Amino acid sequence: MKRDFGLLLLRLGAGVTLMAHGYPKLFGGPEKEPPQPVAGALGPNFAPAVKQDGPESFAQALAQMGVPEPQVAAVLAGLAEFGGGLGLALGLGTRPAGLVAAANMAVAARKVHWPQGFYGQGGYEFPFLLGVVGAALALTGPGAISLDRLLGRD
């Protein structure tokens, strides 16, 4: 039971964090506002991030980095973070969600954060950690406290 509770905590922590980073990429934009309970829970930096980001803005940033098909890549990255995070948090499709999150974080670490090195502001330590957690959950599965287990999928 301790193992299952530990996996639940790991899934919730990584899942909510990934969702918070994916939400602005998918649903953000200059005139967009996050739901007030979400903005309140995630703190004062979340609403400005939602207004600043969005699929178009994120696609422009990806284009500047030389990412091919930046509009498609922007949506896929947002889905990987928001959808993968939701899957991890719920323990639903945990293994594929973990793999998708790990792959997306590997790309983010290499394309965006690599020049700053591992440690410090802008470094790749954060996407590296989220990617490792995603990979670990893909390998271990969600544990007993999950929708996967409830549905007999793991």
The answer for residues whose C-beta is within 8 angstroms of residue 90's C-beta and 6 or more apart is 15, 146, 147
Residue 7 has pLDDT above 90, yes or no: yes
Tens digit of each residue's pLDDT (9 = 90 or more) over 34-78: 999 999 999 999 999 999 999 999 999 999 999 999 999 999 999
Look at residues 23, 122, 153 and name the one whose alpha carbon lies nearest to residue 81.
Answer: 23
pLDDT in tens, 106-147: 999 999 899 999 999 999 999 999 999 999 999 999 999 999
Q: Report pLDDT for 37.
A: 95
The answer to whether the beta carbons of residues 147 and 92 sit under 8 Å apart is: yes
Residue tagged 């440690």 (tokens): 119
What letters, b where the CB count within 10 A reaches 16 and e where it falls short, cover 18-31? bbbbbbbbbbbeee
| Residues whose CB falls within 8 Å of the CB of residue 40, separated by 6 or more in sequence, listed in order | none
Q: How is the chain split into domains, by residue range?
A: 2-150
d(CA 126, CA 106): 11
pLDDT at res. 153 = 87
Instruction: Give the per-residue pLDDT at 154.
Output: 75
- Strand segments, DSSP code E, in 19-151 are none
DSSP labels, 21-42: HHHHHHH--TT----HHHHHHH
Taking CA atoms, 88 is separated from 9, 55, 63, 99, 134, in Å, by: 10, 23, 29, 10, 8
Whole-prediction pTM value?
Answer: 0.93
Q: State both tokens at 18.
A: 């990934």
| pLDDT at position 93 | 97
